[in-house]
Amino acid sequence: MSDNDEVALRMRAIEALLIEKGILTSEVVDRVASTYEHDVGPLRGARVVARAWTDEAFRARLLEDGTAAMAELGVGGFVAEHVIVVENTPDTHNLVTCTLCSCYPWGVLGLPPAWYKSPEYRARAIREPRAVIRELGTELPAETRIRVWDSSAEVRYLVLPMRPAGTDGLAEEDLVGLVTRDSMIGTGLAAEPVA
């Protein structure tokens, strides 16, 4: 049994005990997990990306020192103490993984998706990143170079996705909704605006 499996078993046992003792309900646990997964985490990272798309000076600071720039927006914290931001361009697409475990900037992106923690993703993202990205729903042009970044306990990575075409007139708050968790990991692209 791996350390991750052991931790997951302990967490489930603690959760079950707290529910059994009436300290928590399963609904509360589900609500907290859902909020952290869908609102708190990815929304925080999306705000960072949208600001970078609309503020060139912020973008430059973000690429130079991601942790400090994100702190300007109050973003960081839990396992996001040192974040390096890598930028997608028309020629280069970035993909983040963690080959040793599943290091992930929770304070920026929320809960990691189950596939991010799987040994298969962690291994294949290094060996065949284009295939992994395709299997998760994104087809990149053959000429696009893919760079894979391996997170660790000391440093996490955040992908700054390319701003979608046709969004020049959108305000920062409207752009937030186009930034997906997967686009900030590199397994997807930012969403296209709805016509």
Is 103 part of the annotated catalytic residue set?
A: yes
According to the annotation, is 103 in a ligand binding site? yes
Active-site pick, 2, 26, 34, 102 = 102
CA distances 75 to 36, 47, 171, 183, Å, are: 14, 9, 20, 18
H or E element that contains 18: helix 3-20
**Does 102 participate in catalysis according to the annotation?**
yes
Residue 118 annotated in active site: no
Which one from 2, 26, 98, 152 is the annotated catalytic residue? Answer: 98
160, 85 contact by CB (below 8 A):
yes
CA dihedral 193, 159, 53, 114 (to 10 degrees): 40
**2, 26, 34, 103: which one is catalytic?**
103
Rg (CA), the chain: 18
Q: Are 95 and 129 in contact (CB under 8 A)?
A: yes
Q: Is 137 left (phi over 0), alpha (psi -120 to 50) or beta?
A: left
What value, to the nearest 5°, has the Cα angle with vertex 67 and ends 154 and 177?
A: 115
In what helix (H) or strand (E) does residue 147 lie, and over which residues does it extend? strand 145-150
Residue where the block lists tokens 């997990």: 33
| Active-site choice (26, 101, 152, 183) | 101
CA distance 7 to 9: 5
102 assigned to a ligand binding site: yes
From the annotation, which residues make up the binding site for Fe(3+)? 98, 101-103
From the annotation, which residues make up the binding site? 98, 101-103
> Which positions are annotated as active-site residues?
98, 101-103
